[in-house]
């Protein structure tokens, strides 16, 4: 009789988790499931409209990555791998921000794809929008974008980097991975906030250049819930 290998032990630990039960527990929490579905749909609406309006732009790879990140949030939250869901949320935001910049900077995009030493800092992109995107600073203030972003990004980064050990982690061994209503609720709330930040970023950046090519249905969906004065400030029609 031979001793179990480390691979055998890992395989047993992974198989000991009732992944189906974890998913069922999340799915049966209708409120959380509906919230994640709603936010992924909002990402989908943006993705479809941007792919149609900005077709052939190589920077659309970031939009596809953004949408996949939203899918990963849904899957990882259902599997109860909550900290990894946080990493997917940050990917979602980062790729949305990259698209907002690289869609008009094809040379830099090509350099980033081919030169590992080249990197555009996220703060540089924000500064670019402040200096070069018409009315960005005024609109982001009206939308509360950067104030909310700083808080959300700091919290999400702290979670995924383990700065507050134990946050969004309910187990000390693989076999203990299971559903936590409290943690799942926190994860879903943070996801909703992250998607809303992406939404507001797009409203005061790329939407202003591409809006005329959006469908009427999408325009109404994307402007839904905004106050009348914000809609006036954005100058984006809903027809």
Domain map (residue ranges) of the chain:
18-234
Predicted pLDDT of residue 236: 94
Residues 135, 159: Cα–Cα separation, whole Å:
33
Per-residue pLDDT reduced to its tens digit, 148-183: 999 999 999 999 999 989 999 989 999 999 999 999
Predicted pLDDT of residue 156: 98
For the chain, the average pLDDT equals 96
The mean pLDDT value for 212-230 works out to 96
Per-residue pLDDT reduced to its tens digit, 54-86: 999 999 999 999 999 999 999 999 999 999 999
CB 185 within 8 A of CB 203: no
Q: Which residues of 155-191 are buried (b: 16+ CB within 10 A; e: fewer)?
A: ebeebbeeeeeebbebeeeeeebebbeebbebbbebb
Per-residue pLDDT reduced to its tens digit, 96-144: 999 999 999 999 999 999 999 999 999 999 999 999 999 999 999 999 9
The answer on pLDDT for 2 being more than 70 is no
Helix extents (H) in the chain:
6-16, 19-27, 30-53, 60-79, 82-102, 106-114, 122-132, 136-143, 145-160, 181-203, 207-210, 216-223, 228-234
Lowest pLDDT segment from 41-55, 171-185, 225-239: 225-239
Q: Is the pTM of this model over 0.85?
A: yes
Helix extents (H) in 133-180:
136-143, 145-160
Q: Which residues of 73-107 are buried (b: 16+ CB within 10 A; e: fewer)?
A: bbebbbbbbbbbbbbbbbbbbbbbbbbbbbbbbee
Name the band, by pLDDT with cuts 50, 70 and 90, for residue 193.
very high
Residues 87, 191: Cα–Cα separation, whole Å:
11
Predicted pLDDT of residue 164: 86
The answer on pLDDT for 1 being more than 50 is no
Residues 135, 133: Cα–Cα separation, whole Å:
6
Terminal-to-terminal C-alpha distance of the chain: 73
């Amino acid at each position: 009789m031979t001793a179990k290998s480390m691979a055998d032990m890992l395989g047993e630990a992974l198989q000991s988790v009732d992944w189906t039960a974890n998913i069922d527990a999340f799915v049966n929490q209708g409120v959380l499931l509906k919230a994640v579905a709603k936010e992924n749909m909002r990402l989908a609406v943006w993705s479809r409209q941007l792919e149609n309006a900005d077709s052939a732009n190589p920077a659309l790879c970031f939009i596809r990555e953004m949408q996949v990140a939203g899918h990963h949030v849904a899957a990882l939250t259902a599997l109860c791998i909550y900290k990894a869901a946080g990493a997917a949320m940050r990917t979602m935001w980062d790729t949305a921000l990259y698209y907002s910049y690289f869609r008009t900077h094809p040379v830099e995009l090509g350099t980033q794809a081919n030169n590992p030493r080249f990197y555009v800092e996220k703060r540089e992109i924000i500064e670019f929008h402040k200096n070069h995107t018409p009315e960005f600073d005024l609109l982001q203030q009206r939308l509360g974008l950067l104030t909310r972003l700083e808080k959300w990004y700091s919290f999400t980064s702290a979670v995924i980097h383990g700065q507050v050990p134990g946050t969004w982690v309910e187990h000390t061994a693989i076999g203990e991975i299971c559903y936590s209503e409290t943690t799942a609720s926190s994860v879903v709330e943070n996801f909703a906030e992250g998607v809303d930040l992406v939404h507001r970023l797009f409203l005061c950046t790329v939407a202003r250049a591409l809006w005329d090519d959006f469908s009427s249905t999408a325009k109404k969906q994307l402007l839904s819930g905004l106050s009348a004065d914000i809609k006036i400030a954005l100058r984006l029609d809903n027809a």
